[in-house]
Amino acid sequence: METERVGPPLRAGERETLRAFLDFHRATLELKCAGLTDEQLRRQSSPPSTLSLLGLVRHMAEVERQWFRRVINGEDIPLVWSDTFDFQAAYDATTADVAEAFEAWRREVEHARRIEREAESLDVTAYNARWEEDVSLRLVMMHMMHEYARHNGHADFLREAIDGTVGV
């Protein structure tokens, strides 16, 4: 599948800008994984760490699910790879199915996009049990960009260690 990464608009409203930056970061993660074998996607950074590119994809599926579906949309659903709400469990992709992981991530991204599009405004709030207070959709979108940006930095190093590719 060809991944298109479109740069955020230079002049746009707040919501369009946030949406575009988040999609830019999502596409960056996918590009970091493009063209690699299943084994390469599962390759761990530096044992005993279980961090891998595929683990990052799985983790981001959990994060998308948590913030958009569980928090903003109020859905009472479990995480994808942990019954105990352990977000770290997704990092261990040593035996993970690559197609299943990408399918889950893409599905959660589509749910997130739908939830954001259908929200009345960025000021929509919902209760975050972990923080024990309400959060806005604006905060969630900013938090998601922060998550992707941080993990895309990890993906830079992981990809370079696998095949020398930098700067995607």
Residue 5 within any structural domain of the chain = no
Note whether residue 98 is domain-resident: yes
Give the domain extent around 135. 14-163
Whole-structure pTM value:
0.94
Alpha-carbon distance 33 to 156, whole Å? 10
Per residue in 55-70, pLDDT (tens digit) is: 999 999 999 999 999 9
Question: Is the residue at 7 inside a domain?
Answer: no
CATH code assigned at 149: 1.20.120.450
Enter the tokens of residue 9: 């608009």
Residue at 168 is within a domain: no
Q: Is the pLDDT of residue 168 over 60?
A: yes
Q: Is the pLDDT of residue 45 over 90?
A: no
Q: Is residue 8 part of a domain?
A: no
Question: Collapsing DSSP states into helix, strand and coil, what is residue 136?
Answer: strand
Tokens of 156: 């830079």
Number of separate domains in the chain: 1
Q: Is 145 helix (H, G, I), strand (E, B) or coil?
A: helix
Please check whether residue 85 lies inside any domain of the structure: yes
- 106: in domain: yes
Task: Report which of 122, 105, 154 is spatially closest to residue 19, judged by C-alpha positions.
Answer: 122
For residue range 68-123, list pLDDT tens digits in order. Answer: 999 999 999 999 998 888 888 899 999 999 999 999 999 999 999 999 999 999 99
39-43, 56-60, 164-168: least confidently modelled range: 164-168
pLDDT of 77: 95
Determine, yes or no, domain membership for 55. Answer: yes
Residues 28 and 17: beta-carbon distance below 8 Å: no
The Cβ of residue 78 has, within 10 Å, a number of other Cβ atoms equal to: 11
pLDDT above 90 covers a percentage of the chain that reads: 81
Q: First CA to last CA across the chain, in angstroms?
A: 16
